[in-house]
Amino acid sequence: MSMEIAPRIVVDQSVRFGRPVIQGTRVPVATVVAKLAGGMSVDEIVAEYDVSVEDVQAALHYAAQLLASEEFLLTA
């Protein structure tokens, strides 16, 4: 059973080992973000993974939320 953890982003233990994916697909959020970081355009990702521009934006938004909520404790 899938659970929406953010708009257009779901987790399901039976899909990609419970990693966050684009809703209705098996495309991991991490893959979308990595492809963008590697230089693929949004249009290329949309074509290659059969997702929408809004799906790509949702993946980026989810990743940004995760980073914004992280806390780091620095020790000297």
Task: Tell me if 75 is assigned to some domain.
Answer: no
Task: Tell me if 34 is assigned to some domain.
Answer: yes
Task: Enter the pTM of the model.
Answer: 0.90
Tell me the per-residue pLDDT of 5-42, one tens digit each, with 9 for 90 and over. Answer: 999 999 999 999 999 999 999 999 999 999 999 999 99
Domain range for 38 is: 3-67
Rounded CA-CA distance 9/52 in Å is: 13
**CATH code of residue 60:** 1.10.10.10
Across the beta sheet with 9-11, what order do the strands follow?
3-6, 9-11, 21-22
Task: Tell me if 56 is assigned to some domain.
Answer: yes
Task: Tell me if 61 is assigned to some domain.
Answer: yes
Task: Tell me if 73 is assigned to some domain.
Answer: no
Task: Tell me if 74 is assigned to some domain.
Answer: no
Q: Give the rounded percent of residues in the chain with a pLDDT score beyond 70.
A: 100
Count up the domains in the chain and report the number.
Answer: 1
Task: Tell me if 30 is assigned to some domain.
Answer: yes
